[in-house]
């Protein structure tokens, strides 16, 4: 038999409200105050948090690079060189290691970093000889860039 | 060192060293930059702002600090007590006479980053006007840092033979009166 009156009034108004709310509130569980529980406050707080996270992903790349640079500068000063001299001479010697890798080498592989510093120092001396000399002496080993095919 | 256990290696890496700087005849700014770099830990490849990797610095002989130029008379240290009419200005010479440690302390304070770590880093800086250091600090010192400025030799320090051996640049005429 078909129920025409009472059961037509009972409707299911979206059976998944709980999960929709939880999807948002679960991202706010570590917040302070009522915004970690109440949906209306949590929505605003979570949206702001996601905006900050998006902006932060771009800033993180900048912060990490400055951190790598300061670490490489500290390690190169331990070996009597400055950061700009080191990096410029490494690029001139076609050493294509990025700052991430060089800073990790400086921390965990000190002897490899020392050898990089020596390469840079040798290339610097060759540059000085080429600039100050007469051109009669041949350019040094590190100045001859080997082009891989 | 690779034979250390992990915790021992960590302990050795993050240990705090004690540096000694002799500030005799040195410009306080150069002393302060050396101090500020080492107090922050920026001389270490493991540097991170949050890792508390700064070292202790002991500066001695700050009474014999040497400003270049006319800074003893021209450099002004200002302060305000907070009360009306409490603005005080002291020249570097007056401040140094009043407190021989203050110039180095203020220079280092101004070179540290302006955050809450600054006060802790200043607590790790130990300044002494003379070269008498207390025994507990003497026991902790690990390394002495080279002085940033070469002290020029004074005329009284030259021996008579060196003065005589120096080539004569010009002979003054007879009527010339030397000071």
Averaged pLDDT, B60-65: 96
Distance of residue B76 Cα from the nearest chain A Cα, in angstroms = 33
Kindly tell me if the per-residue pLDDT of A57 is higher than 70.
yes
Residue B93 and residue B76: Cα distance in Å, rounded? 9
Contacting residues for B24 by C-beta, under 8 A, at least 6 apart: B61, B64, B147, B151
Query: Does residue A77 surpass a pLDDT of 70?
Result: yes
The reported pLDDT for the residue numbered A82 is 97
Please tell me the predicted confidence (pLDDT) of residue A147. 59
Residue B3 clears pLDDT 80, i.e. is over it = yes
Question: How high is the ipTM of this complex?
Answer: 0.89
Output B14 or A138, whichever has higher pLDDT.
B14
Minimum CA–CA partner of B9 in chain A? A108
Say yes or no: A102 contacts chain B, CB-CB below 8 A: no
Nearest alpha-carbon partner for B31 in B128, B97, B123: B128
Give residue A126's pLDDT: 92
Shortest CA distance to B117 belongs to which of B53, B59, B58? B53
pLDDT in tens, A125-135: 999 998 888 77
End-to-end CA distance of chain A: 84
For residue B5, pLDDT over 80 is answered with: yes
What are the backbone angles phi and psi of residue B144, rounded to the nearest 5°? -105, 130
Reduce the DSSP state of residue B97 to 3 states and report it. helix
Contacts of B26 (CB under 8 A, 6+ apart): B65, B66, B147, B148, B149
CA distance A53 to chain B (A): 20
Rounded-to-integer distance, Cα B62 and Cα A87, Å: 37
DSSP A5: S
pLDDT digits (tens, 9 = 90+) for A33-49: 999 999 999 999 999 99
**In whole angstroms, what is the distance from residue A97 CA to residue A85 CA?**
15
Is 90 exceeded by the pLDDT of residue B50? yes
User: With contacts defined as CB-CB under 8 Å, which chain B residues touch A106?
Assistant: 45
pLDDT in the model for residue A148? 54
Is the confidence at residue B2, as pLDDT, over 90? Answer: no
How would residue B11 be classed by pLDDT, with cut points 50, 70 and 90? very high
Report pLDDT digits (tens) over A103-118. 999 999 999 999 999 9
pLDDT at A149 over 60: no
In Å, how far is A83's CA from the nearest CA of chain B? 12
Closest-approach residue (CA) in chain A for B42: A74
Q: Tell me what the pLDDT averaged over chain B comes to.
A: 95
Task: State residue A3's pLDDT score.
Answer: 65
For B91-148, the pLDDT digits (tens) are: 999 999 999 999 999 999 999 999 999 999 999 999 999 999 999 999 999 999 999 9
In three state form, how does the secondary structure of A100-141 look? Answer: HHHHHHHHHCHHHHHHHHHHHHHHHHHHHHHHHCCCCCCCCC
**Closest-CA residue in chain A for B49?**
A67
Chain B residues inside the 8 Å CB shell of A73: 42
Chain A residue whose CA is closest to B47: A71
What are the phi and psi torsion angles at B7 (to 5°)?
Answer: -70, -35
Distances (CA, A) of B145 to B21, B59, B125, B129, B178: 6, 10, 14, 17, 42
Q: How far is A71 from A79, CA to CA, in rounded Å?
A: 13
Burial (Cβ within 10 Å: 0-12, 13-18, ≥19) of residue A89: buried
- pLDDT for res A139: 80
Q: B47: which chain A residues are within 8 Å (Cβ-Cβ)?
A: 67, 70-71, 74
Domains recognised in chain B with CATH numbers:
13-148 (3.90.1180.10)
Confidence of residue A140 (pLDDT cuts 50, 70, 90): confident
Residues of B in contact with A70 (CB under 8 A): 42, 47
Q: Would an 8 Å CB–CB cutoff place A100 in contact with chain B?
A: no
């Amino acid at each position: 038999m078909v129920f025409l009156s009472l059961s037509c009034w009972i409707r299911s108004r979206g059976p998944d409200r709980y999960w929709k709310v939880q999807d948002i509130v679960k991202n706010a569980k570590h917040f302070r105050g009522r915004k970690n529980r109440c949906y209306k406050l949590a929505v605003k707080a979570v949206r702001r948090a996601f905006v900050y996270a998006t902006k932060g992903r771009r800033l993180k790349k900048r912060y990490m690079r400055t951190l790598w640079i300061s670490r490489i500068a500290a390690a190169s000063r331990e070996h009597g060189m400055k950061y700009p001299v080191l990096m410029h001479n490494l690029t001139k010697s076609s050493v294509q290691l990025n700052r991430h890798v060089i800073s990790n080498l400086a921390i965990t592989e000190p002897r490899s970093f020392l050898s990089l510093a020596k390469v840079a120092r040798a290339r610097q001396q060759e540059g000085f000889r080429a600039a100050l000399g007469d051109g009669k002496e041949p350019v040094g080993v590190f100045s001859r860039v080997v082009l891989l095919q | 060192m690779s034979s250390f256990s992990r915790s021992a290696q960590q302990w050795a890496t993050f240990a705090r060293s004690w540096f000694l700087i002799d500030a005799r005849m040195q410009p306080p700014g150069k002393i302060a930059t050396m101090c500020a770099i080492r107090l922050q830990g920026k001389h270490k490849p493991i540097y991170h702002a949050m890792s508390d990797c700064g070292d202790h610095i002991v500066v001695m002989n700050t009474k014999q600090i040497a400003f270049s130029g006319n800074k003893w008379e021209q450099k002004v240290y200002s302060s305000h007590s907070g009360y009306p009419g409490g603005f005080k200005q002291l020249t570097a010479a007056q401040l140094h006479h009043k407190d021989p440690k203050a110039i180095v302390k203020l220079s280092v304070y101004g070179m540290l980053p302006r955050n809450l770590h600054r006060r802790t880093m200043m607590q790790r800086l130990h300044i002494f006007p003379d070269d008498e250091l207390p025994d507990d600090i003497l026991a902790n010192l690990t390394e002495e840092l080279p002085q940033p400025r070469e002290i020029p030799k004074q005329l009284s320090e030259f021996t008579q033979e060196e003065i005589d051996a120096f080539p004569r640049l010009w002979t003054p005429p007879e009527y010339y009166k030397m000071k």
